[in-house]
A and B are shown apart, each in its own frame.
Chain A
């Protein structure tokens, strides 16, 4: 079974603009989801170079979340899991 993939940007800008809690996302995952979700990090996803977008950035199965927070990522994951969308 393919897992849902979450990529968290751990770059400087994402970190200072509210992303410092994101790496601990794994601890906030509900028990039932733990085997369904694969959490990865990226040194910098590069979106910050485009001034129009708002950090911090997280991708869920390739879908970009701007101004990401733990609750926003969980909401998005819930949607993906409910629809059964798997990693492409």
Chain B
């Protein structure tokens, strides 16, 4: 069986008026077992209390699953551990656990959450659910294929719009499945990030801008790995310039160049013009440029540092749509394997200690970004120095 890449992304919006979301999504890739485990948990109620319940549940569920504990025991342990709500006298947080191997063998365990959806290309699949003896926990096993998508969501999504005249029972599964099918039909390669954004956007719309519950959606998209090359910094020795330019030209996939000098080298080697975009700019980092044959050209260290910060805090959607750092992040997050080609020449002009801002060393920033991509965004990153 061919190894697939799982593109995974999730997003959430707290209930209107809350600052913390009561749903928690955790995931972990276990490289040496070729396995990915993801957990979505929805805590009772909303706000901080719900978030703590959900966090405890998700963490336990994730670790029990990683250690191959039988599900009956895990579920019992989770229920015994959760603090009891003093008003409702119950301890409750629902969960969905996805345990999948990179060859597609998938097991999904559900307790209390709305049922997950599986799409094969743009068709919604019907899958049998088997319930455990207690009648509450269900286990589903199936084989995924390339171009399958698993959509997990909290009840904030399926109940969005509830009580509205045109959707009295909220966003029902049939309706929702139809909408998602249409989205995939229109854009067959839509990334996990884009798809979950569309689903969450629609849920918020259903609630007319004021979510009546925490809304969380996660998408797992099984696909052939997409490759991206990020090239930054001039090579240590000038006679490697040609090699760097050739690597970018011959790369199968999209390419990003970060660095003014780097861009000049590539343009010179290729005999192409560089045009700087003077229409869109932000005040904290320099504008992007265009070179024929390169997907994105930005300034180097300032843009990368900003991108690293935004990736770390996950708030890249708050910045302007044309912000170069956001454009870099969009490229990074819509790909699976990211190769970094890092030039190691030190820019003497940046070494002046009297400079007003800290200009970090390129290699360190790239290492930070690669680490975040692997740990937080579950991508695969390779670093090569030139």
Contact = CB atoms under 8 A, between A and B. Distances in A.
A49 B349 contact: yes
A13 interface: yes
Interface stretch (B156-164, B182-190, B281-289): B281-289
Nearest to A48: B349
Given A11-B260, A15-B286, 17 more contacts: A8-B276, A8-B278, A11-B261, A11-B286, A12-B347, A12-B359, A13-B349, A13-B350, A16-B357, A17-B356, A21-B283, A23-B278, A23-B287, A42-B274, A42-B276, A44-B264, A49-B349
A40 B278 contact: yes
26 contacts: A8-B278, A10-B260, A10-B289, A11-B261, A11-B286, A12-B286, A12-B301, A12-B302, A15-B286, A15-B299, A15-B302, A16-B355, A20-B283, A20-B284, A20-B286, A23-B281, A23-B287, A39-B278, A40-B276, A42-B276, A43-B263, A43-B289, A44-B260, A44-B261, A44-B264, A51-B349
Interface string B277-310: 1100101111101000000010111100000000
Interface of B: 260-261, 263-264, 274-278, 281, 283-287, 289, 297, 299-302, 347-350, 355-357, 359
A43 B278 contact: no
B289 A16 contact: no
Interface string A53-87: 00000000000000000000000000000000000
Interface residues of A, number: 22
A3 to B, nearest CB: 14
